[in-house]
């Protein structure tokens, strides 16, 4: 099986669709020039991220978004490159749009769309993602060069069941787009205070925030426990809480960009590499609901759990 080269891209995502499209086009070209087969972009990369980059979708220019999307599909065909692109996907009537990843092949065709399933916010939809987006209800899988791929978006990382689902579907490479950027300085200070400054020495991270601590750590754990490769782009808009990075299937980070600076990270995915995988012998049993290794014994002292 050939090696797949993935470009994990970051730039300062904003409310300006035209500016976002220009960044994306430049990074698509750079990715192809550097030998990448796929260019992967952050959550909301083209549309911007509602509630962070702009207040709401009221008055949003959907025609501009469609036009910019079409131009990028044409560029994918021109460059002969796969693109995994974060954007908003409009629905009908009063339904809020999906927060989506478009999967575009080298012919410039849309082959699938992943819609963020776990949108943040309370159940009444009064805040967070649910104030702006409708949640999705499906996994998305496709193949590139014989490698089975899947997609997730940001807050999905809090639900390891989604990674387990993809592993059951045979996924080997996950394109997990994030938007943990554009955080105001006062919000950053409030998050740090909520964690407690006395804990900072015990939590080395790009930023002393919940996303800065938990998101990269969760990706390392997801890769190692499921034996999947993971591309993790992020917005580099100030304050970006961590830089884009790429994790190998054994949980080892292959590369990391500079926080707050636009850039393209190209990593090679070799699913036949001899990588450390301590759970290989038992993972399928665990997925099937057999939650132990080996063979249990029938022993009275094993059954008696209240004596020494």
- The pLDDT tens digits of the residues spanning 19-67 come to 999 999 999 999 999 999 999 999 999 999 999 999 999 999 999 999 9
Rounded CA separation 161/287 (Å): 10
For 95, which DSSP code?
Answer: P
Look at residue 287 and tell me whether its pLDDT is greater than 90.
yes
Quote the pLDDT of residue 144.
Answer: 97
Please choose, from the candidates 226, 198, 232, the residue with its C-alpha nearest in 3D space to the C-alpha of residue 214.
Answer: 232
> Are the beta carbons of 32 and 26 closer than 8 angstroms?
no
Q: Characterize 68-91 residue by residue with b for buried, 16 or more Cβ atoms within 10 angstroms of its Cβ, and e for exposed.
A: bbeebbebbeebebbbbbbbbbee
Query: Can you tell me the mean pLDDT for 171-185?
Result: 97
User: What are the tens digits of pLDDT across the range 102-135?
Assistant: 999 999 999 999 999 999 999 999 999 999 999 9
Query: Can you tell me the mean pLDDT for 206-232?
Result: 97
Parse the chain into domains and list their residue ranges.
4-279
Rounded CA separation 230/246 (Å): 6
Rounded CA separation 124/122 (Å): 6
> Are the beta carbons of 150 and 166 closer than 8 angstroms?
yes
Supply 23's token pair.
């960044």
Quote the pLDDT of residue 1.
Answer: 60
User: What are the tens digits of pLDDT across the range 239-274?
Assistant: 999 999 999 999 999 999 999 999 999 999 999 999
Quote the pLDDT of residue 122.
Answer: 96
Q: Is the pTM of this model over 0.95?
A: yes
Rounded CA separation 132/57 (Å): 7
Beta strand residue intervals within 208-271, DSSP E: 229-232, 245-247, 253-256, 263-269
> Are the beta carbons of 118 and 156 closer than 8 angstroms?
yes
> Are the beta carbons of 118 and 159 closer than 8 angstroms?
yes
Mean pLDDT value across the chain: 97
Cα 77 off chain centre by: 24
Count the Cβ atoms, other than its own, within 10 Å of residue 208. Answer: 19
Quote the pLDDT of residue 2.
Answer: 78
The answer to whether domain 4-279 has CATH 3.90.420.10 is: no
Supply 295's token pair.
């063979």
Pairing status of strand 38-40 against strand 4-10: parallel
Counting Cα atoms < 13 Å in the Cβ hemisphere of 23 gives 29
User: What are the tens digits of pLDDT across the range 228-238?
Assistant: 999 999 999 99
Helix (H) or strand (E) holding 293: none
Distance spanning both ends of the chain, measured CA to CA: 54
């Amino acid at each position: 099986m050939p090696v797949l080269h993935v470009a994990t891209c970051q730039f300062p995502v904003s409310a300006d669709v035209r500016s976002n499209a220009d960044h994306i086009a430049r990074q698509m070209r750079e990715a192809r020039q550097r030998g990448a087969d796929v260019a992967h972009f952050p959550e909301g990369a083209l549309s911007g991220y509602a509630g962070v980059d702009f207040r709401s979708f009221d008055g949003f220019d959907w025609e501009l978004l469609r036009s910019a999307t079409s131009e990028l599909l044409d560029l994918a065909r021109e460059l002969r490159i796969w693109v995994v692109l974060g954007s908003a996907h409009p629905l009908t009537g009063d339904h809020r749009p999906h927060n989506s990843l478009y999967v575009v092949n080298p012919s410039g065709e849309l082959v699938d769309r992943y819609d963020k399933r776990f949108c943040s916010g309370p159940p009444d939809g009064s805040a967070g993602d649910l104030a702006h987006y409708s949640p999705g209800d499906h996994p998305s899988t496709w193949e590139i060069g014989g490698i089975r791929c899947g997609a997730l978006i940001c807050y999905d990382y809090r639900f390891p069941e989604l990674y387990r689902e993809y592993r059951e579907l045979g996924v080997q490479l996950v394109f997990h787009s994030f938007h943990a950027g554009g955080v105001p300085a006062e919000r950053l200070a409030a998050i740090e205070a909520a964690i407690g400054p006395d804990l900072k020495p015990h939590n080395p991270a790009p930023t002393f925030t919940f996303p800065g601590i938990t998101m990269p750590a969760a990706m390392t754990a997801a890769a190692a426990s499921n034996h999947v490769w993971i591309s993790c782009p992020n917005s580099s808009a100030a304050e970006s809480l961590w830089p884009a990075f790429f994790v190998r299937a054994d949980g080892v980070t292959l590369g990391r960009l500079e926080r707050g600076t636009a850039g393209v990270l190209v990593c090679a995915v070799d699913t036949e590499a001899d990588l450390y995988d301590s759970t290989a012998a038992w993972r399928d049993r665990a997925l099937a609901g057999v939650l132990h290794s080996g063979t249990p014994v029938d022993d009275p002292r094993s059954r008696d759990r209240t004596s020494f």
